[in-house]
Amino acid sequence: MTRNVLTMTALLISSLTPALAQTAPASPPSVSTVAAQPASGLAAEARALAERARATYPKGSASIDQTLWKQAAAAAEAAVSAEPTNAEYLKLRAQIYTEVGFWRQAELSWAAYFRVAPAQGVTPETRQAADVQYNLGYAAYTRNQPSEAARFFAACLQLDPASVPCTTWAARTALEAGNYAQAQTLYASALRLNPGDKTLSYFQTVAQNASRYGPAATRAFSRAYADVEAGKKAQALAGFQEAARSAPNFLEAQREAGRLALELGNAEVALAAFQKAASLPGATAADRYNLSLAQEGQQYGLEAVRTFREAYARYTAGNKAAAEQGFQAATSRNPNYAKAWAWLGRVRYEAKNFQAAAEAYGRAVQLDPGDKSSAYFLRLAQQGK
């Protein structure tokens, strides 16, 4: 029996630390030294190595590829091999794999621990095991394996029913699968656990309306939203457009496509999205504002229009010097922007800078001969009154 344990220990350490000889710190435990220790000594060695690893590596960087963590895992494996039913050693191994994010090994290790020490309600150990299931689920979700992801999130909730991340993502996967009633129930639970979360409230509304859009559009929308959260904006825009194509009455998809297109500087796509959004029941003043922004942006360029609107906001706030600079900047971004010239003329006229006002009003009238207001003030500015 002793010989088998020694052999197994050597193999475990060899497999977990292939580069040990090149990367180990001074005086690492050798295979023969570790294997010769009793199980209690192996466990103590694992704990000591884990502590050294935490002190040595940057916080939050723990990885099984780091030498000290490899050695800690190997020592914990050896302790478990020596005493396979010792709950303390099983938990130690599971905790080490959890800390380094070796999720599959952590899952197996927690399962082995709970077979020996069945959980009685929610404990620190079940919460750690739940975190493992969450990470496995999220990894499956990012690999576009929704069924696998849903299974992991469900397992997480079995271990820790109050896990906000698992409740949230269980709701998301239920929504994408077309299980709308389940998704609504889960979003309601998530909101009870995390009241006031705007994203949860938003998706609860999406879940309530999802039956009108169908699973294909809903799934495309949900994936696009996840891409936004991951910073993949171009991919997210394509996803929102796909959702809108699948369900043209999907107001949120049209709206999000328009917003993201504006952010990415694509006035043409934004215009198409907000034209549809503004025509749907539930359209808001913000949708109509963004429609006008997209319309004007397509004609003069979004940067010029944004600069103009920022300047107008400064004007209405009473900061006319800053407004003049903004209107001037808008005309620089697009010299054919008649409205920007007209407002530049206005702030100059109000400042009694008649010559400069006449220049700006003159340009506005030249670009838009039908602008009677600019033509009137041009005459006054030329007369110096």
Each residue of 241-261: pLDDT tens digit? 999 999 999 999 999 999 999
Give yes or no: residues 126 and 186 share one domain. yes
Report how many domains make up the chain: 3
Question: 284: which DSSP letter?
Answer: -
Give yes or no: residues 130 and 32 share one domain. no
181, 184, 190, 192: CA torsion to nearest 10:
-110
If you average pLDDT over residues 25-41, what whole number do you get?
58
User: Model confidence at 151, in pLDDT bands (50, 70, 90)?
Assistant: very high
- Exposure class string for 154-166: b at 16+ Cβ within 10 A, else e: ebbbebbeebbbb
If you average pLDDT over residues 192-216, what whole number do you get?
92
Neighbours of 125 (CB within 10 A): 19
Evaluate the CA torsion angle 277, 184, 216, 198 in order and state its sign: positive
In a domain, 179, yes or no: yes
Q: Does residue 204 surpass a pLDDT of 70?
A: yes
Distance separating alpha carbons of residues 228 and 97, to the nearest angstrom? 31
Q: Does residue 189 surpass a pLDDT of 70?
A: yes
Give yes or no: residues 334 and 353 share one domain. yes
CATH number, position 63:
1.25.40
- Exposure class string for 293-316: b at 16+ Cβ within 10 A, else e: bbbbbeebbbebbbbbbbbbebbe
Give yes or no: residues 107 and 34 share one domain. yes
Give yes or no: residues 123 and 144 share one domain. yes
Question: 280: which DSSP letter?
Answer: S
pTM above 0.85, yes or no: no
In a domain, 218, yes or no: no
Distance (Å) of CA 6 to CA 14, 189, 334, 364: 12, 50, 78, 90
In a domain, 292, yes or no: no
Give yes or no: residues 66 and 132 share one domain. no
Domain span holding position 11: 1-117
Give yes or no: residues 30 and 67 share one domain. yes
CATH number, position 377:
1.25.40.10
Q: What per-residue confidence (pLDDT) applies to 17?
A: 39
Last residue of a domain, one of 92, 117, 142: 117
In a domain, 127, yes or no: yes
Last residue of a domain, one of 176, 192, 212: 212
In a domain, 272, yes or no: no
Distance separating alpha carbons of residues 300 and 77, to the nearest angstrom? 67
Give yes or no: residues 24 and 134 share one domain. no
Q: What per-residue confidence (pLDDT) applies to 34?
A: 52
